C-alpha cells in the first residue's frame, strides 16, 4: 500500500503552493488563485484551518487543508498539484489515509468535504475514500455536494 506523508505547511513553502494555485487543472476547481493564496497565507499564520503538504516518497505533490467544523467533525479540501498524477488513485488514497489518521483521535467522529456538484472526478475519488453523498447545499460560493465519512464503529 502506498503511504503518504502529511507535513504542516510552513511559510517557507508558500511560494511553491502559490505557484500550484495558478495551474489550470487546479484553477478549474480552486478558482481565483490570489484569493486562495491569501486564505492559505492566513492558514499558515494560524487561523482555524490547518494546511498540509502531501508527499509521496519525500516529494510534495498535493495540498490538503483541514478545519474543525464542530467538536467531533472535521472538514477537508484538497488538490493534486502535479497534473500527471491526476486520476491514478493518489487522491482517494491520501484522503482515505488522512481520514484514518484523524479517526485515531477519540473525539473525531465524522469528516466532511463539499465538492462542486459537477466535479465528477472529485466526487468519485471521495466515494473511493469512503465518503457518502449527503446532499446538495447552497453556499455563498454556489451549490456544493456535501459528502461525509463517519468513523467506523
Name the site residues for ligand COA (rule: CB under 6 A).
Answer: 25-26, 29, 77-80, 86-92, 115, 119-122, 124-125, 128
Q: In the bound complex, which residue of the shown chain has the CB atom lying closest to ligand COA?
A: 91
Are 61 and 54 spatial neighbours (Cβ–Cβ below 8 Å)? yes
Least Cβ distance, residue 146 to ligand COA (angstroms): 11
14 or 116: CB nearest ligand COA: 116
110 or 119: CB nearest ligand COA: 119
Least Cβ distance, residue 106 to ligand COA (angstroms): 28
Give the number of C-alpha atoms closer than 13 A to the C-alpha of residue 82, restricted to the C-beta side: 13
Please, what sign has the CA dihedral across residues 2, 11, 15, 35? Answer: positive
Please, what sign has the CA dihedral across residues 44, 50, 51, 55? Answer: positive
Largest CA distance in the chain: 41
Least Cβ distance, residue 134 to ligand COA (angstroms): 14
Query: What DSSP assignment string belongs to 45-63?
Result: HT-SEEEEEEEETTEEEEE
Pairing relationship of beta strands 110-113 and 73-80 according to DSSP bridges: parallel
Least Cβ distance, residue 102 to ligand COA (angstroms): 17
51 or 115: CB nearest ligand COA: 115
3-state class (DSSP) for residue 87:
coil
Least Cβ distance, residue 149 to ligand COA (angstroms): 14
44 or 79: CB nearest ligand COA: 79
2 or 10: CB nearest ligand COA: 2
Amino acid at each position: 500500500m502506498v503511504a503518504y506523508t502529511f507535513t504542516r505547511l510552513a511559510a517557507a513553502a508558500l511560494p511553491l503552493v502559490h505557484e500550484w494555485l495558478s495551474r489550470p487543472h487546479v484553477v478549474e476547481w480552486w478558482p481565483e488563485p490570489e484569493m486562495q493564496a491569501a486564505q492559505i497565507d492566513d492558514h499558515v499564520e494560524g487561523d482555524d484551518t490547518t494546511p498540509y503538504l502531501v508527499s509521496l516518497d519525500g516529494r510534495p505533490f498535493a495540498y490538503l487543508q483541514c478545519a474543525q467544523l464542530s467538536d467531533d467533525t472535521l472538514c477537508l479540501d484538497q488538490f493534486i498539484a502535479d497534473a500527471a498524477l491526476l486520476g491514478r488513485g493518489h487522491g482517494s488514497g491520501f484522503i482515505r489515509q488522512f481520514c484514518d489518521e484523524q479517526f485515531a483521535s477519540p473525539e473525531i467522529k465524522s469528516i466532511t468535504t463539499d465538492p462542486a456538484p459537477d466535479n465528477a472526478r472529485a466526487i468519485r475519488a471521495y466515494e473511493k475514500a469512503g465518503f457518502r453523498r449527503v446532499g446538495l447545499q447552497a453556499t455563498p460560493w454556489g451549490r456544493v455536494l456535501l459528502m461525509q465519512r463517519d468513523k467506523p464503529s
